[in-house]
Amino acid sequence: QKSAEIAAEEAAAGGINWTFAPMVDITRDARWGRVMEGAGEDAFLGSKIAEARIKGFQGDLSSNKNIIACAKHFAGYGFAEAGKEYNTVDVSDETLHNIIFPPFKASVNAGVRTFMNSFNQLNGIPATGNKFLQRDVLKGAWNFQGFVVSDWGSIKELVTHGYAKNNNDAAEIAINAGSDMDMESNVYVKHLNDLVKSGKVNETTIDDAVRRVLKIKC
């Protein structure tokens, strides 16, 4: 918690108000290149470290020394097959609910303001376009009130996964699945207006995403 407090103070002094941390992915394959960024292989320890880092980064957000935290990567990123970055993730419900989810639930309970989704597929569906993860679990069962940002270019990568036909289709899938902010793909700014006009995306869906983002910014 103290290390996150120091990092937040230094970042805030430089004009930064949001960090893409903590990474709360549980992993059990040392071949995965990002093992040093997370808390290891134990869900309980990972949950406690997630909570501590979030409290350190955010404090009560009334001070100019605190910054917004972002729990990532939702979800399953640390279980990529053979430890290969971006690889498929195929896990049981038991592993998902008892190993992968707990640090993310702890992050919500600790008051984290933002979530980042992940590059990987989870049981056949890319996380960025996964309604079960983002709407049913995170915003539904867990009542998360912040916003979800895509990982770097991950909305456009729905096409690479073969889950979307093109960028327009990717934008439709991602926003309807609950990805509120598009990082780097630029497909929202290019396609959402037309998707709303065509009726493929409900205007209330956009309103919800915008409301979540503005609430955090304020």
Q: Where are the alpha helices (DSSP H) in 84-154?
A: 93-95, 101-109, 131
Is 60 a residue whose pLDDT tops 90? no
Contact status, residue 161 vs residue 126, Cβ threshold 8 Å: yes
CA distances from 95 to 30, 76, 139 (A): 18, 10, 21
For position 149, what pLDDT does the model report?
98
Could you list the active site residues? 151
pTM: 0.96
Other beta carbons less than 10 A from residue 20's beta carbon: 17
pLDDT tens-digit readout, 115-161: 999 999 999 999 999 999 999 999 999 999 999 999 999 999 999 99
Per this entry, what is the length of the chain?
218
Is 199 a residue whose pLDDT tops 90? yes
pLDDT tens-digit readout, 72-104: 999 999 999 999 988 899 999 999 999 999 999
For position 142, what pLDDT does the model report?
98
CA distances from 202 to 53, 113, 187, 192 (A): 36, 25, 17, 10
pLDDT, averaged across the chain: 97
For position 94, what pLDDT does the model report?
97
CA distances from 187 to 60, 156, 168 (A): 34, 7, 7
For position 218, what pLDDT does the model report?
83
